Structure 1
Amino acid sequence: MASNEDTQPVAIGPQPSQVTDTERLQKLNTDLENIPLFMTHLPTDDTNPAVEALKSLISEEAPEDMAQKFKTEGNTSFHRKRYDQAVAHYTHALSFDHDNNELKVSLFTNRAAANLELHNYARVLEDCKSALQIKSNTPKALFRAARACIMVGKFDEADECCEWALRLDPESKELRKMQDDVKEARRALEVREKEQEKRENARLEKREMVQQAIAIRSGLTFDLSPDNMKKRDLYAWEVSEHCVELDPESAHLLWPVVFLYPESKESDFVQQFDEATSLYDMLATVLAQPPPWDNQQRPAYTVDSVDTYFLARPLGGMEKDERLVKVKSTMRLATILENPKYNILDGIPSFLVLPKSSPFTDQFIEHYRQQRLVNDSAITKSDK
Structure 2
Amino acid sequence: MSTSGLTEDELQDKLISEWEKLRYTPKAGEPALPPQLSDFAEKTTEDVMKELNRLPFFMTELDETDGEGGENTTLEALKSLAYDGEPHEIAGNFKNQGNDAYKTKQYKVAIEFYTKGIEVDCDDKVINAALYSNRAACNLELKNYRQCIEDCKKVLAIDEKNVKACFRTGKAFFAVNRSEEASQILQYGLSFDPENKDFKGLLETVIKKQKQIEEAKLKKERELEEKKMKQSILENSIKLRHFTIIKSSRPAEMLEDAKLRLEDPLDHESQLIFPAMLIYPSIDEFDYIAEISELSTPIEILEMILDRPREWFEDPKHKDFTVKKLECYMETQTGGLIKVGKKMAINNVLMNDKPVAPLFDNGLRLFVVPKSESAEWLSKWSKEAALAKRKQ
TM-score (norm 1): 0.58
Unpaired segments ≥5 residues, structure 2? 1-46, 54-61, 84-90, 122-126, 251-255
For residues 47 and 126 of structure 1, what CA distance do their matches in structure 2 show? 39
Alignment match, 2:357 = 342
The 1:70–1:249 alpha-carbon spacing in structure 2 relative to 1, beyond 3 Å, is same
**Which residue identity does 1:221 align to in structure 2?**
T
Q: Identify the residue that residue 244 of structure 2 maps to in structure 1.
A: 221
Task: Tell me, yes or no, if structure 1 residue 62 matches structure 2 residue 79.
Answer: no
Contact (CA 8 Å) 1:278, 1:332: kept in 2 or not?
Answer: yes
1:244 aligns with 2:257: no
Q: Which residue of 1 aligns with 2:12?
A: none
Counterpart residue identity of residue 68, structure 2: P
Counterpart of 2:36? none
| Residue 108 in structure 1 maps to residue 172 in structure 2 | no
Deviations 1:145-187 (A, max 9, x none): 3244446665543332112212443321111223333433343
Q: Matched residues in 2 for 1:55 and 1:281: separation?
A: 97
Does residue 301 of structure 2 align to residue 282 of structure 1? yes
Asked if the contact 1:255/1:349 (under 8 Å) is kept, the reply is no
Tell me how far apart the structure 2 counterparts of residues 61 and 355 of structure 1 sit (CA, whole Å). Answer: 99
Q: Which residue among 116, 120, 140 is the counterpart of 1:98? A: 120
Q: What secondary structure does 1:171 align onto? A: coil
Name the aligned partner's letter for residue 244 of structure 2.
T
The residue aligned with 2:274 is 256
Tell me the CA shift for residue 323 of structure 1. Answer: 3.7
Show the counterpart of 1:212.
236
Using the TM superposition, give the Cα deviation of residue 98 of structure 1 relative to its aligned residue in structure 2, in angstroms. Answer: 3.4
Separation in 2 of the partners of 1:333 and 1:217?
12
What whole-Å deviation, never above 9, does each CA across 1:282-308 have from its counterpart, x for those lacking one? 343355446xxx959648496737654
The CA deviation at 1:255 is: 2.6
Shift, 1:191, TM fit:
3.1
1:49 aligns with 2:68: yes
Aligned to 2:187: 163
Q: Is the 8 A contact 1:280 1:303 kept in 2?
A: no
Q: Which string of whole-angstrom CA distances, capped at 9 and with x for unpartnered residues, describes residues 237-294 of structure 1?
A: xx96623224368933323224154766766252x4221111332343355446xxx9
Tell me if structure 2 keeps the 8 A contact 1:121–1:148.
yes
Percentage of pairs with the same residue? 19
Q: Of 287, 295, 311, which aligns to 2:331?
A: 311
> Equivalent residues in 2 for 1:290-301 (5 A)?
298=315, 300=318
- The 1:372–1:159 alpha-carbon spacing in structure 2 relative to 1, beyond 3 Å, is closer
Aligned partners of 1:216, 1:181: CA distance in 2, in Å?
Answer: 52
The count of aligned residue pairs is: 302
Other structure's SS at 1:257 match: strand
Distance 1:264 1:51 in 2: 85
Q: Which residue does 2:169 correspond to in 1? A: 145
C-alpha separation in 1, matches of 2:225 and 2:387: 52
Gaps of 5+ in 1: 1-30, 79-85, 228-238, 315-321, 376-384
Could you tell me which amino acid in structure 1 is paired with residue 219 of structure 2?
E
* Cα deviation, residue 334, structure 1: 0.8
Structure 1 pair 310/178, CA: closer, same or farther in 2 (3 Å)?
same
Q: Deviations over 1:294-333 (max 9, x none)?
A: 959648496737654443344xxxxxxx445443343322
Distance 1:338 1:368, change over 3 A: same
- What amino acid maps onto 1:105 in structure 2? S
Question: How far is the alpha carbon of 1:128 from its aligned partner?
Answer: 3.4
SS class of match (1:49): coil
The alpha-carbon deviation at position 335 of structure 1 amounts to 1.6
Q: Once the 2 structures are TM-superposed, how far is the Cα of residue 126 of structure 1 from its aligned partner?
A: 3.7
Q: Is this contact kept in 2: 1:67–1:92, CA < 8 A?
A: no
Secondary structure at the aligned position of 2:160 is classed as coil
Q: Amino acid of the residue matched to residue 242 of structure 1?
A: K
Aligned mates of 2:241, 2:104 — CA distance in 1: 72
Distance 2:147 2:211 in 1: 26
1:268 is aligned to 288
Judging changes above 3 Å, is the alpha-carbon distance between structure 1 residues 159 and 252 closer, same or farther for their aligned structure 2 residues? closer
Tell me, in whole angstroms, the C-alpha distance in 2 between the residues paired with 1:286 and 1:51.
Answer: 89
- Is 2:215 the counterpart of 1:191? yes
CA 1:132 to 1:367, structure 2 compared with 1: closer, same or farther past 3 Å? farther
> How far apart, in 1, do the equivalents of 2:286 and 2:148 lie?
55
Q: Partner letter of residue 204 of structure 2?
A: D
2:382 is paired with a residue whose SS is helix
Matches within 5 A, 1:9-24: none
> Matched residues in 1 for 2:162 and 2:289: separation?
63
Give the match's secondary structure for 2:381. Answer: helix
Give the letter for the 2:370 counterpart. K
